[in-house]
Structure 1
Amino acid sequence: MSAIDPRKIHTRHDLTQQLAQLFRDGGWSIHRLAGKAGLSTATVQAILKDDALPQAKTLSAFVRACGQDPAPWVQARGRVVRSEQQAKQAGPVYLPYRSATFVGRGQALARLTAALPAPGAAGKAAGAGGVVVQAVHGLGGIGKSALVAHWAATHLAEHTLTWWITAETPAGIEQGLADLAVAVMPELAGQPLEALTAQAVRWLAGHTTWLLILDNVTAPAHIQPLLARAPTGRFLITSRLATGWHQITSAVVRLDVLEEDEALGLLTTIVTMARPGASLLGAARLCAELGYLPLAIEQAGAYLHQSGLAPLAYLDLLAGNPAVIYDQAAEGADAERTIARIWRATLDRLSDTPLAGQVLRILSWYASEAIPRTLLEEMGEPVLVQQAIGRLAAYNMITVADDDTLSLHHLVQAVARTPDPGDPHRAEADIQAAQNQAIRLLDDAIPANPKEPADWPQWRILLPHITALAGHLDITDATDVLAHLLNESGLFLRDQGAITRAISHFQRTHAASTQSLGADHPSTLTSRNNLAYAYQTAGDLERAILLFEHNLADRERILGTDHPSTLTSRNNLASAYESAGDLKRAIPLFEH
């Protein structure tokens, strides 16, 4: 959990969160803390679950009972009071989106404050040297809107107007400006939309120290005319789009997932809201499984709060019914704000890029980081492949690193490889095709000889992705191409001394060969021999001997007693007997 620090408290919400964490960390019950603090249980409950502002005396009693010095907490309460008094003096405010469970984001908030300094502060202030534009971009569900809304709410006193516009389309921008015009000039109510929009732009051009938030901008070109006609004030922009901002601003923040303790704090806050004793068993595991993605954690927390389940139970549901869970919102929540639907909307925007969906589905089978871009070269026309990579990166669905490798959030991968008949981007046939192509592309990329030292660096680059791919598949997914890929990687691992990992690959190879080629196929018998040899190398002679005996019997039956492969099997079994100290059985086989 985040460290308790009353110096970080600036709003009622901040105060409530820190007091709730103080309560949880101490392992208190409502009745026990109320008794020690000399407060009623109703008062303690109100402190923990409402954004009410406790009296200084009440606050002091609460934190003193928790073993804290009341002085910094009373000072924090004073800051909240002063901030609220200043906010009352601010101009018109429209902030429809503000999360009551906002946590963390200290560095991102500090970057916004530095880029948008208060009027009169050192550096460039809005209205003192022209317009100030700040853009925040990131993956859908990463928390851009929550960040911007929280920053704006804590800086109301700095602005003559704070106004939020949902800027997904030019029509949305127009409507938002028309609403602004009526808010600052009520006498204009009833005028045509075009006239109101023009009046809003004139008002912005004639005033300073305002803050206009343009949320979920889909194309910088949609807002460029507005920025050009409003040369003073501040614009704060959110977007899933990572590129194109250089034409508008150099002040860009890329928002990433929450820190581990922040994610755990968010889940805990939602689950225990009005239910301080709710079970948090498995909470840390659930946050890790969700990749510390804010929207996914909010979605899970709301479901747990509604159902009364523990996080561990949610993990079981996620494993058994991923398509349903990824797309399920709690009762009363916005059904369109689930991770599955948010990312579906992004892919809808990329529907004019034919390979974008297929690239994402292929990448979903690999490890989430350091995927060689060269792996995708053979999947289609080079120009179309690179276009798809570029557009996915532009919308923050994937990231292109400086070393030309690709990465993506592992929850994006999990959703992309989970079939859903209601999602056109996740049809079962398309996901199966992507899985087969992911296997083939890796198999084509592995070096021909696992023993060649010059090729070892390439093996080390590809191994994490081979291992991840194998971990996502079951026996029904087996193909001869997969069997070859796993066998070759197993040979490399064995020769590198990574015998435990080699055994895992050989086990999967044998299962894949048996499934795809049949139990008597020469490749299946070779895979069994490689597995037996790996067991022998690891010192597990009992399992090695069983497999060697099985192989010799099958080769004598299929190939005859004098076939070279049969002779090799006989020698291998004799060697295993010898290693086990069973010379009585080893010698006759060597003599045969």
Structure 2
Amino acid sequence: MVVLDDITDPAAVESWWPDSPRGNGWTLAATRLNDPRLTGGGRARIDVDVYSPDEATAYLTSRLTHGAKAHLIDDQAITLSKALGYLPLALGHAAAYMIREQIPCRTYLERFTNRAARLDELLPRWADSERYGRQITTTLLPALDATDHDSLGHLARAVLGVAAVLDPAGHPATLWDTPALATYLTAHQPACRPRRAVALRRRRTAPKPVTGDEARAALRLLDRYGLITYDGSGDGVRAIRIHALTARAVRETTPEDQHRTVTTAAANGLVEMWPDADQTQRELAGVLRANTDSTSAHARDSFWSPDGHPVLYRAGTSLLNANLHSAASAYWGDMVADCERLLGNNHPDTLTTRANLAVSYQQAGRTSEAIDLLEQVAADRERLLGNDHPDTLTARNNLSSFYQQAGRTSEAIMIKEKGPGDRALPCRSGDRI
């Protein structure tokens, strides 16, 4: 039997296959490639997935128990297995790390989720107790360099960088048809030099705009090398997926000065593909919100400079439209805290997020709290923006509606008489009339 491990180039192993299905030899090959050249000639493909949640937790429990460290198992074992993506390689490294450092699952999970920590520190080479023979980052990105030999190599790297900040559970393929991502990918194409150029005045021509079809070709290349999973039909709202640890390895190998550009491009694309009325597309809306959460988490505070990114408001409005009361109140509460911390109490975005928090309270039946908060917003907008500013009129209009719903009709009438709050009012992204 011949065993071939970690095949990255099918042509390089062509001579090692048995001559025919009836040959005397056997070859067992391991690869992350999704390449048709590896099947045929009597060869059978067997997909080996990651552990199931139960298998992952059972492995972690068994590994720590047999290491005489059963006391390190706690109520975070299941959560830790999920955070590691149920990947056998990562679970083996993590178990060895916990045994050596004498830390329980909870403590290791805290270290693992610390954004300042890197994979090679938390899953170091010395923790390879199962003898995989590889460092974790090297294992997760085995074929990225190989894509450089393809004509789509540069494009594939840019595509992978964006996929790494999106939700690992998946995003729609149609995201790659948005102008925002086309612009980003075009900017990351190598510029072209003319064949004839005057000495000392050599100019680079602008790269050709990247199309959605070219982006999909890059996705197929990444899928072929096992860096992502791409559902070729492209019909599902989670057609493109990436393992969480692969995504983290990509982010950790992305230059720091490129992080904001990548996350902004992803967020811009999400805004552009978001349906105006997403209530009838609940599954898509949920996926877009999940991808917003992932992207904004990786962007950290950069989505608040100089103002809040529109995708943050779009996701919050989607929760309001879906009548997800508790989730909406929690989301807008976090938004208010971020605005006050980063933009200040009197910034227009802070007032907008407070207004939407009030709407979430009203939807949840917390009418008294909604009125108290919106009264403050209306007063602040009048003080800062003036009586006739559209945002001031929007706040009054909403406040009048809240009063009516609370049975405070006379106060609602007073608000109406104070200004033209019953006309159609323009509003910023995230405001609701």
Identity among equivalent positions (%) equals 28
Query: Following the alignment from structure 1 to structure 2, what is the Cα–Cα distance between the partners of residues 226 and 444?
Result: 50
- Give 1:512 deviation, angstroms: 6.4
Distance 1:444 1:514, change over 3 A: farther
- 1:229–1:528 distance in 2 versus 1, CA, 3 Å: same
Give a deviation string over 1:283-333, Cα, whole Å, max 9, x none.
222112112110000000111121221111111111224315444233675
Residue 392 of structure 1 pairs with residue 392 of structure 2:
no
Q: Does 2:95 align with 1:269?
A: no
Aligned residues of 2:89 and 2:132 also touching (Cα < 8 A): no
Q: For residue 272 of structure 2, what is the aligned residue in structure 1?
A: 444
Larger radius of gyration: 1
Distance (whole Å) between structure 2 residues aligned to residue 384 and residue 563 of structure 1? 46
Q: Does residue 415 of structure 1 match 2:249?
A: yes
Q: Is 2:49 the counterpart of 1:256? A: yes
| 3-state SS in 1 of match to 2:2 | strand
How do 1:20-39 residues align onto structure 2 when only pairs under 5 Å count?
none
Q: In structure 1, what is the Cα distance between the partners aligned to 2:357 and 2:392?
A: 17
The amino acid of 1:413's aligned partner reads A
Q: 1:505 to 1:472 in 2, by over 3 A?
A: farther
Q: Point out the more displaced range, 491-500 or 257-266.
A: 491-500
Contact 2:329/2:361 (<8 A) preserved: yes
| 2:286 pairs with 1:496 | no
Give the stretch that moved more between structures: 355-364 or 573-582.
573-582
Task: Name which of structure 1's ranges 508-517 and 530-539 shifts more when overlaid on structure 2.
Answer: 508-517
Aligned to 1:347: 144
Select which of 336, 361, 377 maps to 2:161. 361
Tell me, yes or no, if structure 1 residue 227 matches structure 2 residue 17.
yes
* 1:497-519 superposed Cα distances (whole Å, 9 cap, x missing partner): 22233334444555666678775
Correspondence for 2:97: 303
The answer on 1:371 being equivalent to 2:205 is no
CA deviation profile, 1:442-491 (whole Å, cap 9, x unmatched):
111112x32785x7675455333234434555344335786322323333
- Over 3 Å counting, the alpha-carbon distance change for 1:480 and 1:544 in structure 2 is farther
CA, structure 1 residues 304+327, in 2 after alignment: closer, same or farther (shift >3 Å)?
Answer: closer
CA contact (8 A) 2:8 2:146 kept: no
TM-score (norm 2): 0.74
- Cα distance in 1 between the residues matched to 2:34 and 2:88: 19
Deviation at 1:268, TM superposition (A): 2.2
Say whether residues 1:294 and 2:294 are aligned partners: no
Pick closer, same or farther for the CA change 1:326–1:516 going to 2, 3 Å: same
- Within 5 Å, give how 1:6-85 maps onto structure 2: none
Partners of 2:320 and 2:293 lie apart in 1 by 14
Picking from 547, 551, 554, the partner of 2:373 is 547
RMSD (CA atoms): 3.3
Distance 1:522 1:413 in 2: 35
Distance 1:526 1:308, change over 3 A: closer
SS at match of 2:126: coil
CA separation in 2, counterparts of 1:502 and 1:232? Answer: 64
Q: Of the candidates 255, 270, 273, which is equivalent to residue 427 of structure 1?
A: 255
Q: Which residue of the other structure, out of 290, 294, 304, is the alignment partner of 1:478?
A: 304
| Aligned residue in 2 for 1:246 | 39
Which deviations, in whole Å up to 9, do the C-alpha atoms of 1:544-576 show, x marking residues without a partner? 234312322222223323445434423433444
Q: In 1, Cα distance between the equivalents of 2:341 and 2:247? A: 26
Structure 1 gap segments, 5+ residues each: 1-210, 420-424
Q: Is the 1:450–1:489 Cα contact (8 Å) retained in structure 2?
A: no
Asked if the contact 1:486/1:508 (under 8 Å) is kept, the reply is: no
CA 1:276–1:322 in structure 2 vs 1: closer, same or farther (change >3 Å)? closer
Q: Give the TM-score taking structure 1 as reference length.
A: 0.56
Q: What are structure 2's unaligned runs of at least 5 residues?
A: 186-209, 419-433
> Which of 114, 117, 138 pairs up with 1:322?
117
Q: For the Cα contact (< 8 Å) 1:272–1:305, is it kept in 2?
A: no
Q: Contact 2:18 / 2:24 at 8 angstroms: preserved in 1?
A: no
Q: Quick one: structure 1 residues 546 and 358, their matched pair in 2 at CA, closer, same or farther if it must change by over 3 Å? A: farther
Q: State the SS of the aligned residue for 1:426.
A: coil
Rounded Cα–Cα distance in structure 2 between residues aligned with 1:228 and 1:332: 33
In structure 2, relative to structure 1, the CA distance for the partners of 1:544 and 1:249 (3 Å cut) is farther
